[in-house]
């Protein structure tokens, strides 16, 4: 009788997950829920006045400022990129600057 009771007590530990290691398995749903919860909390806390804009700007103000910077600086970078392309096209295959006639 004692042999049967000791073998049942020494059975395998209770398994709570199908995965062997923590972090193993799909986590996309948890990631999406976390990002959504953070964005909703940010939106609610700033628009309901729980946090002043001095400490945490609203998502609308943040994205508006990002759009303004983007619309201001992207054309500058684009014109610099085009200028570099134009400068690079004036070099011929030998590494010398082509004359004004465009001899390569």
Over residues 36-70, the pLDDT tens digits come to 999 999 999 999 999 998 999 999 999 999 888 88
At residue 4, the pLDDT reads 52
Kindly state whether residue 98 falls inside one of the protein's structural domains: yes
64 with 104, same domain?
yes
- Residue 98's region, left for phi above 0, alpha for psi from -120 to 50, else beta, is beta
Kindly state whether residue 17 falls inside one of the protein's structural domains: no
Kindly state whether residue 7 falls inside one of the protein's structural domains: no
Cα–Cα dist 58/47, whole Å? 7
Q: Give the rounded distance of the alpha carbon of 98 from its chain centre.
A: 44
At residue 40, the pLDDT reads 96
Number of structural domains the chain divides into: 2
65 with 98, same domain?
yes
67 with 99, same domain?
yes
At residue 46, the pLDDT reads 94
pTM summary value: 0.51
Cα–Cα dist 74/90, whole Å? 25
At residue 32, the pLDDT reads 93
What is the span of the domain harbouring residue 44?
Answer: 27-56
């Amino acid at each position: 009788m004692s042999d049967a009771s000791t073998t049942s007590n020494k059975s395998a530990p209770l398994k709570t997950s199908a995965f062997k290691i923590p972090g193993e398995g799909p986590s996309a749903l948890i990631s999406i829920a976390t990002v959504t919860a953070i964005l909703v909390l940010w939106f609610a806390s700033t628009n309901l006045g729980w946090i002043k804009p001095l400490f945490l700007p609203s998502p609308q103000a943040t994205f508006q400022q990002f759009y303004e910077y983007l619309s201001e600086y992207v054309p500058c970078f684009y014109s610099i990129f085009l200028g570099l392309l134009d400068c690079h096209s004036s070099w011929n295959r030998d590494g010398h600057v082509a004359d004004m006639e465009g001899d390569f």
